[in-house]
Structure formats: C-alpha cells, structure tokens
Amino acid sequence: MDPFESIDHMEDEDYFDHEEYMIQAMALHRQQHAVEGASASRRRNSQPRMFIRRNPLEGHERLWNDYFAEPSIYLPNVFRRRFRMHRNLFLRIHSAVEAHDDYFVQKRDASGRLGLSSLQKITAAIRMLAYGVTTDLMDEYVRIGESTARLSMKKFVKAIVSIFGGEYLRSPTNSDIARLLEVGQNRGFPEMLGSIDCMHWKWKNCPSAWKGHAPPCNYTINGHEYTMGYYLADGIYHSWATLVKTIPAPHGKKKKHFAACQESARKDVERAFGVLQARFAIVRGPARYFQPEF
C-alpha cells in the first residue's frame, strides 16, 4: 500500500470527521438558541398581569343612571347621538343579543362577585363601532378591560349577523323587486333595481354569492326587449349590461339631461355611504384585526 495514499486517506477521514462535528455543533447551537428564545418568550408572557379593581358594578350603575333610568341624566337626543340609534332600538337589540349569546348575561365570578352587565358589554361594542376608537378608551367610563371589550365587540357583531342577517342581509324577494322597480319607474329609470357603489372594505362573500344570479326581469323600452334589470353606477365600474353609467363630458341636451338625471338618482347610495361612515366611524379607517375572520 502506498504510504502517501494511506496518509491521504487518513486526512480525508479527519476532514469528514471535522465537517460532521461542525454540522452537529451548529445544529446544537440552533437548538439551544431556539430553546433560549422560547424560554424568554415564556418569561415575557408569564409576567403576572396587574390586577385592577375596576368595580364593574359602579360602572353599570353610572351607565344606567346616565342613559337608562327614568329620568336619565342625558336626554334622548344625546343618547341617539352617542349610541347612533334611539333608545328603544338599542333595548331591542340588547334583549335579542342577550337572549342569543349567554356571554352577555351577567354572571358571578369564582368569589361570588357580579361581573360586567350586558349593558356594559354591548355599550362598549357599540361605542367602538360608532367612534372607531380602541378598546383601551372604553375602560375609564364603562369599566371594562381591553381584552373583554375586544371579545365583546367580536361576539356582538357575530350575534347581530346571526340574529338579523336573515332579515336584512338576504337576497330580494319578488315583492322587494316589484317595490324597487316601482321606485325606479317613478324616478325616471324604468326597471332600475337601485344604485351601486363600493367602499374599500373587502367583502369575501360577494363574488361567490352573486356569481350567476340575477333577479328575473322582463321589460320593453323604445321597442327593445330586455331580460335583466340594472343598477346605476359611476365611471369606475365595468361596461356591463346590468350597469348604467353616466356620460362623461356630455354634449347636447339629451346627453346632458341623462347625465344629470343619472347622477341625481345615484345620490341615494352616495348619501347612504356617507351616513354610514359618519354614524359608524369604524368603517372610515382600515380594519385593525390581523385576520379576516375574528
């Protein structure tokens, strides 16, 4: 056996042993680093939460005397401005939500003390929707913690959709379509179903829910037969048969008259979006949740 070949073979073995050692050392280092990071994260998360004696009963009593007692401190017009609705409507929603979700029923904690009332939780949810404020701002007046206020708003929104969605979020019935067509006829747009507009809030159900569906509609205008209703829209929408847009820079009396009538009729949906954003400020800004489903 060639002695130099033996030396080369030994050097190769030493090289591979050294390389394997380095790989193992690096893997061990990564593992230790991950363990230390997880331990540090646990230490941060395991810091004892500071207990705040908020006295929720005092918060409930103040809220009751301010808005729900007879007589209350604040008049009905102040209630409507701050809650974005009349008190009778609020109480109707309050009763329905409390009956729908046991989370809103006032309970006692492990020590037997009464917790937050349904009025406090629902008031916090509506104030956040109305003013678009963070959960921390609800604490001082309502006496509700950040995490509880956040959970209250989530459960409140889900309860509203579950309770009232079948009535207010449904597709139009035949009687609804007939009423809408009559309104369109009276406004100078025969067979118009309404006006359409959008906001920069994603609605994930729209494409799948409406794809291939349209209410049946048959009518004749100027001797032409049509089988679909239509919506009034502005210039950002596609040129589809179901969307009637205004005429940009119209020339001539007919085109100017049509553009004026179309833009005037579309004021209803623009006003609706304006009122919605003014009444519930949460839709004016971007969503703060990380996930679409909360």
Q: Do residues 157 and 225 both lie within one domain?
A: no
pLDDT 10s digits, 239-267: 877 788 888 888 888 888 888 888 888 87
Question: What's the predicted TM-score (pTM) here?
Answer: 0.65
Establish if 20 belongs to a structural domain: no
Terminal-residue alpha carbon distance, the chain: 74
Radius of gyration of the chain (CA): 32
d(CA 247, CA 256): 8
pLDDT at 75: 95
Last residue of one domain, picked from the residues 125, 148, 168: 168
Residues 59-90: pLDDT tens digits? 899 999 999 999 999 999 999 999 999 999 99
What local confidence, expressed as pLDDT, does residue 110 receive? 82
Q: Where are the alpha helices (DSSP H) in the chain?
A: 3-45, 56-63, 76-83, 87-100, 118-131, 139-142, 146-168, 174-186, 206-210, 253-265, 267-279
Cβ–Cβ under 8 Å, residues 105 and 115: no
- Boundary residue ending a domain (147, 168, 189): 168
Q: pLDDT-derived band of residue 294, with 50, 70 and 90 as boundaries?
A: low
Determine, yes or no, domain membership for 213.
Answer: yes
- State the residue range of the domain holding 188: 174-283
pLDDT at 116: 92
Residue 188: which H helix or E strand, with range?
none
Residues 120, 85: one domain?
Answer: yes
Statement: residue 3 has pLDDT above 60: no
> pLDDT of 168-226, one tens digit each?
888 888 888 888 888 888 888 887 877 777 655 544 444 444 455 555 666 666 777 77
> Does the pLDDT of residue 286 top 80, yes or no?
no
Residue 87 lies in a domain: yes
Q: Residues 188, 159: one domain?
A: no
Q: Are residues 147 and 179 in the same domain?
A: no
Using CA atoms, how far apart are residues 276 and 137, in angstroms rounded to an integer? 22
Parallel, antiparallel, or unpaired for β 224-228 and 243-245? Answer: unpaired
- How many distinct structural domains can be found in the chain? 2
pLDDT at 207: 45
Confidence (pLDDT) at 198: 65
In three-state secondary structure terms, 225 is strand
Choosing from 168, 192, 217, the residue where a domain stops is: 168
Cβ burial of 200 (10 Å; 0-12, 13-18, 19+) is exposed
Q: Do both 247 and 179 map to the same domain? A: yes
In a domain, 35, yes or no: no
Question: Could you tell me if 195 and 256 lie in one domain?
Answer: yes
Smallest Cα–Cα separation from 63: which of 138, 157, 154, 113? 138
The pLDDT confidence band at residue 34, using thresholds 50, 70 and 90, is low
